[in-house]
Amino acid sequence: MYKKIALVLEIAAVFIGTLVGAGLASGQEIKQFFTFYGYKSFIGIILCCFIYIIIGSIIIKLSIKHNLGSYNEFIALICPNILGKFMNICTSIFLVSSASIILAGSGALIHQYFGIPKIVGVLLMAVVAILTLFRNTKGLIEVNSFIVPSLLIVVTTVFILTILFNKNMFNFTYIKKIPYYKQSWLYSSLIYSGYNLLSGCGVLVPLSKEIKNKRILTTGTAVGAVGLTILCIMINLLLLLNVPYIFKYEIPLLYIVNRFGNIIQIMLLCIIWLEMFSTEVSDVYSLSKTLSSAFKIPYKKAVLLIISIALPVSQIGFVNLITVLYPCYGVVGFIFVILCVVFVAKRKAIDN
């Protein structure tokens, strides 16, 4: 019983760790996709939670039923035509690019706050990621089992401190009056959930093949979705209460924690780096499993190949890579969600 609960929590941690990344941990992602839409953004965050649970369950059930081992096999199943092949190529390109973005981000973060040359931060991330990935699925679970609770503790601490210092601001009347800058919150939420689920698919499919327990996997994903939603709500509320000042900063949460002293600030910086690391491991793991499945490349060689490609690409720069790739990937992810729903609906119609 305890082992099953522990496994559910580990899967939840992997799900959260895969989807969070440095963008969410820094507040930048939440600001772009939700905070701009004012109090209605909370509806969008809750909608994302339901989408994560529904589509995550579909991914797990289909993966176990058809014995799938990687995201390319899953996409080929739900869309066995030229669109599916296009999505597979887009996903592979994005995962390599995402791994490159995170290497670049690690270099930029360490350089900005410690004055160390960027290449040191890049190589540090690459070496630690390789050592972790060589432990295969066990390494993926171990990393997220440590990083995700740490993230939750730090964000919850900042949230509680903010409540204590701003008690008069924590009421619906005040929050409703906070100005919003965009109106299409529904579209933004759908794009955000699709973007995350396509990344999550790369981890959920190989996990399904190794664990092969539908109930534990779906429960773990649901717990992860709820945990991620609570995390997003806390960050979004923190950002909303600091509008418009947060719009001036690349790391909005860092602005918020400045008032709480250096210790909290350093803790947040560590969490942002760790979340970069968590996403790096998840992205390379997903793509390595795909290369092993599709081209019979040994898993460890696939890891080294992907890192060796990501290293030179990372030199393009953190901001340059994000600006071009993320919006495009969000649209591809939204199409992925639609294809999952259509595939299941067709199968049910045939069965009936």
Q: Is the pLDDT of residue 63 over 90?
A: yes
Percent of the chain with pLDDT over 70: 94
Average pLDDT rounded to a whole number, residues 43-61: 95
Q: Is the pLDDT of residue 300 over 60?
A: yes
Say if residues 44 and 38 touch (Cβ distance below 8 Å).
no
User: What's the pLDDT score for residue 54?
Assistant: 95
Q: Which domain holds residue 13?
A: 2-351
Q: Is the pLDDT of residue 322 over 60?
A: no
Give me the DSSP letters along 210-268. HH--HHHHHHHHHHHHHHHHHHHHHHHHHHHTTTTGGGG-SSHHHHHHGGG-HHHHHHH
pLDDT in tens, 103-152: 877 887 777 677 888 888 889 999 999 999 999 888 888 888 888 898 88
pLDDT in tens, 205-219: 999 988 888 999 999
CA 286 to chain centre: 13
Q: Is the overall model pTM greater than 0.85, yes or no?
A: yes
pLDDT in tens, 326-342: 667 778 888 899 999 99
Average pLDDT rounded to a whole number, residues 166-174: 75
**CATH number, domain with residue 341:** 1.10.4160.10
